[in-house]
Amino acid sequence: MSKYPVGLEETVDFLKGLPGIGRRSAERIALSLLNWPQEKLDTLAELLHELKERVTFCPECHNLAEDGGVCDICASAGRDRGVICVVEDPGQIINIEKTGLYHGVYHVLGGKLAPLQGKGPDALHLDTLRQRLAAGNVHELIIALSSDVEGRATALYLADQFQSETIKITRLASGLPAGSDISFADSETIAAAFSGRVKL
Amino acid sequence: MSKYPVGLEETVDFLKGLPGIGRRSAERIALSLLNWPQEKLDTLAELLHELKERVTFCPECHNLAEDGGVCDICASAGRDRGVICVVEDPGQIINIEKTGLYHGVYHVLGGKLAPLQGKGPDALHLDTLRQRLAAGNVHELIIALSSDVEGRATALYLADQFQSETIKITRLASGLPAGSDISFADSETIAAAFSGRVKL
């Protein structure tokens, strides 16, 4: 036996396409699946089969939603529709919501501009964002993209496209993470913290 | 949205039960599954559903096999049935086979003795091993279990149970891994390498 049985190899091939899962982890996972009771495997298979039917994207902001409707946030009456926070992925909305500080709505871009990977403005959800801004009640667009090169380029692109007399465009502050030690901060972060320093 | 849609949460709950997958990785994986085309998800679901039907265990040695038959190794005419190598999991057989040096057959124990986790001799595939040894043509049992406490206890238990005038019981050598530097070896490994030193 120089390789695994076909059914296991095929499962490993699928699993190793998942983020953070290499060949060795995929093998470990597939071997452990063999020890699951059949009904548990069937439930997981059923969940995967129905996943995209049950979990859909909000037609308004592209956040995760259920059964084709708008998402919880767009459906909520208590959110300020005058402020839109632009994020990359739906997963980041959960993190921002945990702070309980933001009461506006969101717009999920579905990525960042990355010309080298062939990802131009067409690959992002910009049309729906343009429509939402054209509707006229939005006064602020908060850009909450990661502060790497692609994130900053995307932020500049958005500012260039949507900045107007009625729409203010802001980005989240850069600086030292809360509770962090300057000894472990990289110089770019320290530079950002210096230039963005605030009066006590 | 303080939590994910139900379909996604349920998938995350399942995924985080897999080895090496925590809550965060499970979320990342579930979100990336949403970007898979439906037919790819269906194929994976189908593979999981059929996994235990297609991949079975060899009735002889408990190695992985296909569709209920004996495994490749037990089926092969070229293997020496006089030597049985005892391993913990089927995954380890692949690693040993890669060396191309071993030509005997295997026996998968399905774990190690771990009384603290309630894993006694009954939880291991000892009955079939006893039958194979009783058949009488085996002259050596090579114990290839990990050299942690449970592995060594299990090796001693096997020696106690099966050592006889006709059956020699051996274990794999302990020592420094090939190509390793003594600077990074722990003292137990160095001690094992000293006591097992060989003449050049």
* Min Cα separation A197/chain B (Å): 31
pLDDT at B1 over 80: no
DSSP conformational letter for A198: -
Listed in sequence order, the residues at least 6 apart from A83 whose beta carbon sits closer than 8 Å to its beta carbon are A103, A104, A105, A138, A139, A140, A141, A142
Instruction: Compute the count of residue pairs across chains A and B with CB atoms less than 8 Å apart.
Output: 152
| Residue B2 confidence (pLDDT) | 59
The candidate with the shortest Cα–Cα distance to A46, out of B103, B14, B170, is B14
Let me know: does A85 contact A103? Beta carbons within 8 Å.
no
| Residue B175 confidence (pLDDT) | 84
The one-letter amino acid code at B78 reads G
The one-letter amino acid code at A124 reads L
* Min Cα separation A130/chain B (Å): 24
| Residue A30 confidence (pLDDT) | 93
Q: What is the pLDDT of residues A10-69, one digit of tens each?
A: 999 999 989 999 999 999 999 999 989 999 999 999 999 999 999 999 999 999 999 889
Average pLDDT over residues B8-26: 92
pLDDT at B71 over 80: yes
Confidence of residue B15 (pLDDT cuts 50, 70, 90): very high
The one-letter amino acid code at B137 reads N
pLDDT at B85 over 80: yes
pLDDT at B181 over 90: no
Average pLDDT over residues B101-130: 92
- In Å, how far are A118, A119, A163, B38, B108 from A123, measured between CA atoms? 9, 6, 21, 20, 51
Confidence of residue B176 (pLDDT cuts 50, 70, 90): confident
DSSP conformational letter for A173: P
Find the CB nearest A55 among B2, B34, B91: B34
Q: Cβ contact (<8 Å) for B51 and A34?
A: yes
Q: What integer best gives the mean pLDDT of chain B?
A: 90
pLDDT at B6 over 60: yes
Give the Cα separation of A128 and A105 in Å (integer). Answer: 14
Contact status of A7 with chain B (Cβ, < 8 Å): yes
Average pLDDT over residues B92-116: 91
Q: Cβ contact (<8 Å) for B52 and A73?
A: no
| Residue A2 confidence (pLDDT) | 59
* Min Cα separation A36/chain B (Å): 9
The candidate with the shortest Cα–Cα distance to B11, out of A110, A187, A74, A50, is A50
Please provide the size of chain B in residues: 200
Q: Which residues of B43-58 are buried (b: 16+ CB within 10 A; e: fewer)?
A: ebbebbbebbebbbbb
| Residue B30 confidence (pLDDT) | 93
Among B residues 81-140, those touching chain A with beta carbons less than 8 Å apart: 89-91, 93-94, 97-98
Residue numbers in chain A where pLDDT is lower than 70: 1-2
Confidence of residue B148 (pLDDT cuts 50, 70, 90): confident
Q: Which of B44, B72, B105 to mutate to test the interface with A (most CBs of A within 10 A)?
A: B44
Q: What is the pLDDT of residues B149-162, one digit of tens each?
A: 899 999 999 999 99
Find the CB nearest B66 among A6, A42, A73: A6
- What secondary structure, in 3-state letters, does chain B show? CCCCCHHHHHHHHHHCCCCCCCHHHHHHHHHHHCCCCHHHHHHHHHHHHHHHHHEEECCCCCCEEECCCCCHHHHCCCCEEEEEEEECCHHHHHHHHHHCCCCEEEEECCCCCEHHHCECHHHCCHHHHHHHHHCCCCCEEEECCCCCHHHHHHHHHHHHHHCCCCCEEEECCCCCCCCCCHHHCCHHHHHHHHHCCCCC
Q: Cβ contact (<8 Å) for A6 and B54?
A: yes
**What is the strand order of the sheet B168-171 is part of?**
B104-108, B80-87, B140-143, B168-171
